[in-house]
Structure 1
Amino acid sequence: MTLGSRLKGWLPRSLAYEVPGRVPESDDVIRRRRRRVTLVGVVGAATLGTSLSTRPGSPQFYTLTLTTAGVWTVGALLSGPLHQGWIESLAGHRRRPVVVPVLTGAAAFGGLMGAAVVARRIPVLDAAVRRVLRFADEGDAGLVTLTTLANGVAEEVFFRGALYEAVAQNRPVLWSTVAYTAATASTRNPALTLAGAAMGTLFALQRRATGGIQAPALTHLAWSVLVLRYLPRVFGEPGVTARGS
Structure 2
Amino acid sequence: MTRPPSRLDRLLPRPLSHVVRDEVPETAAVRSRRRRVVAATAVTGAGLLGASLSTAPGSREFYLSTAAVAGVWTAGGLASGPLHLGWIENRDATLRRPVLTPVATGAGAFGLFYAAALVARRIPVLDDALRRVLRFADEGEGPIVLATTLANGFGEEVFFRGALYAALGDRRPVVASTAVYALATSTTRNPALVLAAGAMGTLFALQRRATGGLQAPLLTHTTWSALMLRFLPPLFRDQRTAARGGGPGRRRRRGAR
* TM-score (norm. length: structure 1): 0.93
Structure 2 distance, partners of 1:232, 1:142, is: 15
Report the residue type matching 1:82 in the other structure: L
1:116-150 Cα deviation digits (max 9, x unpaired): 01111110000000000100111111110010000
Listed as ranges, the gaps of 5+ residues in structure 2 are: 239-247
State whether structure 2 residue 41 is matched by structure 1 residue 43: no
1:193-232 Cα deviation digits (max 9, x unpaired): 0000000000011111111111111111110111011111
Residue 5 (structure 1) aligns with: 6
Residue 122 (structure 2) aligns with: 121
Residue 76 (structure 1) aligns with: 77
Listed as ranges, the gaps of 5+ residues in structure 1 are: none
Structure 2 distance, partners of 1:21, 1:209, is: 10
Report the residue type matching 1:32 in the other structure: R
Q: CA deviation at 1:54?
A: 0.5
Residue 235 (structure 2) aligns with: 234
Q: CA deviation at 1:67?
A: 0.3
Structure 2 distance, partners of 1:66, 1:23, is: 31
Report the residue type matching 2:64 in the other structure: T
Structure 2 distance, partners of 1:47, 1:37, is: 15
Stretches (4+) displaced over 2 A: 21-24
Q: CA deviation at 1:234?
A: 2.1
> Using a 3 Å threshold, how does the CA distance of structure 1 residues 232 and 3 change in structure 2: closer, same or farther?
farther
- Aligned-pair identity in percent equals 62
Question: How many residues are aligned here?
Answer: 238
Structure 1 distance, partners of 2:93, 2:117, is: 38
Q: How does 1:1-245 map to 2 (within 5 A)?
A: 5-237=6-238
1:8-48 Cα deviation digits (max 9, x unpaired): 11111111112214332222221211111011001001001
Structure 2 distance, partners of 1:62, 1:221, is: 18
Structure 2 distance, partners of 1:170, 1:119, is: 34
Worse-matched range after superposition: 12-21 or 69-78 = 12-21
Structure 2 distance, partners of 1:33, 1:13, is: 31
Report the residue type matching 1:135 in the other structure: F
Report the residue type matching 2:145 in the other structure: V
Structure 2 distance, partners of 1:14, 1:97, is: 13
1:163-211 Cα deviation digits (max 9, x unpaired): 1100022111111111111111110000000000000000011111111
Q: Secondary structure at the match of 1:231?
A: helix
Q: Secondary structure at the match of 1:36?
A: helix
Structure 1 distance, partners of 2:40, 2:133, is: 27
Cα RMSD between the aligned structures?
1.6
